[in-house]
A = this chain, B = another copy of it.
């Protein structure tokens, strides 16, 4: 029964190398037997063995099994090393939710690099600012998005086009073919090394890169698994763009449990219905905006099995909630920021809510809840960092700390220190704390508009408006919008004798900033000011939000 068996074994050994079964060199040289650095890369090492034959990624007719995913990731990692990549070099990806971007979530850190998934809705100027900030060694760009790359980007970085065919000849596939199918030697020495940078539109001073660590990504991936109850038989529809908090860390969550993740280039409602039915989707994520469109699409129909949907970026309205529940979607309401790897709190539903009228259920579900299974409890504090009373009335700022808070802003110690003052991350969101410890957002301290789940800094919009030659001064505030949650509105004072129409101002902005950031409306007139001449934005906001209980939507 014992001893080596020759010929047959060579094959096995080869397979082992490909899938990473046998290649067990410790990643933690010099560390103890009882410690392995926490990294989402472990999820794929394991899934390649434990879930080898399950489908890891479904994309149109393509099916990538876990063995194949592991091999493709190994190839990507080794090919990236082949470009001369050094430890912690950035690799930028500009792509919709395609298999290549899932692969980059593993292949880039496996190579020792840091993944920078860039918002595909930005314009060339905005993309340039991010590339200038993170200076990637390699850029992977989807064939439809090449126009977003600055013309001189190729000077500093190697640019590889993703034709998104999965076929030989696709430049991305050529890159993979340059790599080796075996595991690349790990350079990870400490789980607190960076794994990804996610850019957020800063209120001042351009885009800020939010640094995620291997440890944080690993832990938030597990939190998602537990909060949604993901398992090997789950089919996850990856609606949140992976450039957005790495899809809230779900590309890692799915691999942790051997689930299938369904990719799609665009959250198009007809396509989503096709995938929900055809792929047997059991779980999904996304901003309410997406589900408003989905629930009101002509193809909408009640599902036999429940589909659990993690919703964030604004609570689902009573109308949406009723509609979703009617279709057998079960919304799980979470709240977080780019700075917290996406979801941080979760509103735990209670069984007794089932008995409540829909309006009341929606009102309770709309609260942001408290820390998810891995997050530290959030606090709501006053200016002196004292907890506000748990009276459901007194507003304070939501602050967070712990393993699901970013390491800092990339290369920006001062904004990091400012965000972390008092030893807590300051969300900029104003909330009340209820008697049961649950928090409920009420307002925003930062000048940010959240539209369709995306952040828009008002200062960016103001700068775009101000660059119009007829504009003397301008203030941009959020206005409520049933579909997008919020949208920007510009209040403009024109120069003496100058003229401009609302549409001219909007068109002017569209040439300068991403379309979703442009004003939905422009109103001309005097701006309200303090005696010292400072614009009183709150006066404008109050006017637009009259009759509403919250100042966010």
Residues in A lying within 8 Å of B, measured CB to CB:
1-5, 8-9, 12-13, 16, 19, 21-22, 24, 26, 32-36, 38, 42-43, 45-46, 49-52, 192, 213, 215-216, 222, 225-226, 229, 231-233, 256-258, 348, 351, 369-371, 373-374, 376-377, 379, 387, 389-391, 393-395, 401-403, 405-408, 420, 423-425, 435-437
Contacts and interface: CB of A to CB of B under 8 A. Distances in A.
A406 B9 contact: no
B257 A5 contact: no
B21 A390 contact: yes
B49 A437 contact: yes
Contacts of A258: 348
Nearest to A50: B370
A367 to B, nearest CB: 12
B369 A50 contact: yes
Nearest to A442: B1
Q: Which 7 pairs across A and B sit closest by C-beta, in order of nearness?
A: A36-B402, A49-B437, A9-B389, A34-B405, A33-B420, A22-B387, A12-B390
> Mostly helix, strand, loop or mixed at chain A's interface?
loop
Contacts of A13: 389
Given A33-B423, A34-B403, A226 B24 contact: no
A425 B371 contact: no
A69 to B, nearest CB: 16
A406 B32 CA distance: 10
A282 B390 CA distance: 35
Nearest to A420: B33
A403 B36 contact: yes
A401 B5 contact: no
A390 B16 contact: yes
A371 to B, nearest CB: 5
A256 B49 CA distance: 28
B370 A216 contact: no
How many chain copies does the complex carry? 2
A34 B346 CA distance: 19
B233 A351 contact: yes
B21 A437 contact: yes
B12 A46 contact: no
Contacts of A420: 33
A196 to B, nearest CB: 14
Contact of A222 (B5, B226, B232, B348): B226
Given A2-B395, A229-B229, A370-B50, A424 B33 contact: yes
A226 B253 CA distance: 11
A45 B377 contact: yes
A204 to B, nearest CB: 21
Contacts of A24: 376-377, 379, 387
Contacts of A401: 26, 33-34, 36
A74 B125 CA distance: 56
Contact of A46 (B43, B231, B377, B389): B377
Given A9-B391, A33-B424, A46-B370, A226 B257 contact: yes
A405 B33 contact: yes
B407 A32 contact: yes
Given A35-B192, A49-B437, A51-B348, 14 more contacts: A5-B391, A5-B394, A12-B435, A22-B390, A24-B387, A26-B423, A34-B402, A34-B408, A35-B402, A36-B402, A43-B373, A50-B370, A50-B437, A226-B226
Contact of A2 (B9, B371, B394): B394
A3 B394 contact: yes
A387 B2 contact: no
Contacts of A21: 377, 390, 437
